[in-house]
Each structure stands twice: as C-alpha cells, then as structure tokens.
Structure 1
Amino acid sequence: MNGLLPDVTALLPTMLGGLQTSLVLTVSSLLLGLPLGLLLSFGVVTPNRVLRWISVFFVEVGRGAPALVLLQLMYYGLPNVQITLSSLVSACLALTWTTAAYTAELIRGGIQAVPSGEVEGADALGLSAGDRLRFIVIPQGLRIALPSLMGFAVLLFQATSLAYTVAVPELMSQAYSTGSSTFKYLPAFIAAGILYAAISIPATWLSVLAEKRMSRHL
C-alpha cells in the first residue's frame, strides 16, 4: 500500500490520452444527439402517424436497449449488412442514438412545461406556428430542460467507458492496457477513477447549480 500513491501518480499522465478520447466521444455524441433529440421530441407528438411511429421506435429502442447492446450492434452487427465502420465511429453512432432517445424525452418535458400564457401571448401577437416554436416554445423549453440535459451529459461521459468493448482507446481501455502491461491493475483503475471524477464531479455541481438557478427563476 505504501507504493500505491506513487504508482497512481505516475500512471495519471499516461492515461490523459484516453481521457481525451472519452471527452471527444462525449462531445461528438452530444453534438449529434441533441439536434436529433429535438426532432424526435416533436416527432413523437406529431399528428403524422408514420413519423410518429418512426420517432417512437427510435426513442423506445434507444431508451430500452442498454448502451452496451447498441455498441455491439453498431460494431459487430452492421458488417453483416456490408457496412463496416471504425470502432470510434461505431461507438459515436451508438451513443448518439442513446443521447437522442433520452434527450428527446427531456426536451419534450421541457417544452410541455412552457407556460400556456407564453403561447397565448405569441398567438395574440400574431406569430405564425413556426415563429412561435422558434422564438418562444423551443428556447424556453430548452432552458427548462437544461439542468436535466447537463445531468445526462455527465452520465454519457461515464457511459463512454463501455466503448472499450469495441476497442475504442478511451479512458477505461487505457486503464486495462496500462494494467496488463505493468501488472498494476489497482493503480491503473484508481487513476482512471480519479480522471473520471475530475470531470464528472465539477460537471455535476454545475448541473445542480443550474437547476437551483432555474428553479428560482421559475
């Protein structure tokens, strides 16, 4: 145990590359998944039956299937239909699907929480349906959903650890690789946990502060 702290300290710099990959995967999935989630949030309530059922399918599968299953599907399943993707792209697509499915419900809840008086005021001003969504409903709905979206982003960052199963060189994969090459698995996993916590804990605090600020505003 006396040598544990020096081992952890020595391993931390070697795992920063894995942390960078985890962050890139998280940001990419959010950038792709959030707009899709916004579209799906409207798709599940659209009067168009075909669009509604397609949207419901993607939301329910994305929420119902574990992220690990989607990762395996994208990496190992798509080659069976002659679609071969790199491990990083496969992981990004799988986590994008998960992001879109979960954020669709969060955004839909935020939009439905917009006070009806705001919508009535937009109608009284003569705004079209498109302008009402663009300038009133969507901005306020996203602001209401922001704390929940920030909390989900933290969970998504932690979920990138599953990408090691499809050979993505993210933080957990780096920990396994470091442990197997040095036979110091405990220091490697402690170092990985420290790096995960260094991102997750401040981000969680920010989401809590945003929620408190939003609750006070509402």
Structure 2
Amino acid sequence: MLEVPATHMQLWEPKPQAGLLRIRPGSYLNITVGLYNGLLMPIQKDVRRFTVSVTIQPRTPNTANSTGVFLGQLGGASDYFDIANLDPGFESGRSSTVPVKDGKATWPQVAIRGWPGYYALIFTAAASDAGPDEVVSLQVEVELLPCRGGEILDMRLASQRASWVGCEQCAQNMYSLWHDDRPALQALSASLGNNSSLQERIKEGPC
C-alpha cells in the first residue's frame, strides 16, 4: 500500500476547549502531536524519520485570539521571546526537539511558566532526509491563567527572568490570602520587556 506523505500536524493531547488551551503556569502536562497526510489521515508508519520541535511565543495585543503576529516579531521587541519559559521535562531529556515514533511526537512532562496572557505553542517538523515535501508548522493557542485563590507565585526561575513564574500551593499548615490581580501580558506597556519593571509588578502573597 502506497504511503501518502505527511503534510501537517494536529494536537492529540491535551485537547483544546473552543480552540484554546488554558494552562495554569507551572503545572505539568503531557503534550502529543501527530503527523497527518494530505488525505487527513494520521501517519502510523515512520517511513520517513521526523523530529518535531516546540517553542512558545507571546501574542500581540491586537492578535491575542487570532493567528499571525507575535510580540517577538515586532521591531525592538526581541525581549518578548523570553516572556514565557517552556521546560520540556526530564522524560524528554529536557529537549524541546523529540523524534517522531509511530507518527507521534510526545513531551511527557512539560511545564510552562510565564506572565498571564495569550501565547502560542509552535510545533515545527523536520525530516532527516532531503525529501520534497514540507510539513506545515502547527500553532496552538494558549492562555496562561492567573494563580488561583490560596496559591502564591513560584519564583524559582524568576532570578533568570522576572516573568518566569508559576503558581504553587503554600506549604502544609501555611495559608495565603493573596489575590492574583496581575494584568494580562497583552494589557501591559512596552516596558514589560524590562526585567526590573516586571519584578516591580509581581506581588508575591506570603503564606
């Protein structure tokens, strides 16, 4: 049976709700994307060897719910590429690039830390040979949510960049009354690219 070449990818896990993944910063999730051919059928045999890479980029304020422009593509906004941190996890060798097996690429334990707001996960496939066919990249819309009531900011990576924060529960027998009222990334000014400016906006509620 002739194998129809891969042309695009689809997200298998987790499943978006209304086209949007809503993620609590710092929580762990399993991410799987699958290769599909031009007949919209999933690729199940690895006739060609592929790897898939994943990155995260923030959205511009006027395209937060549409495809197209990213903050990092705007002039003078290169710092915006690092607003969010994507940690692929130990099980994937802490690599953002993984091999495709049986038509799927999987990152078993991914954590995303960043400022609340809208982002996109960008998946890019690359073949090991010089075949003529190119797999179209996949964009998955993401909303990083504010921390929930009773949580505080996880600041373990904030020393590297102030926006690399997650949410975590207080230690046992400790409590927090902090309310996460940080504005969404897209609502902030251009000074967001400044690390010290971000640090001033973080209100870490003590337990």
Structure of greater relative contact order (alpha carbons < 8 Å, 6+ residues apart): 1
More helix by share: 1
Q: TM range, normalised to the smaller chain?
A: under 0.3
Higher relative strand content: 2
- TM-score (norm. length: structure 2): 0.23
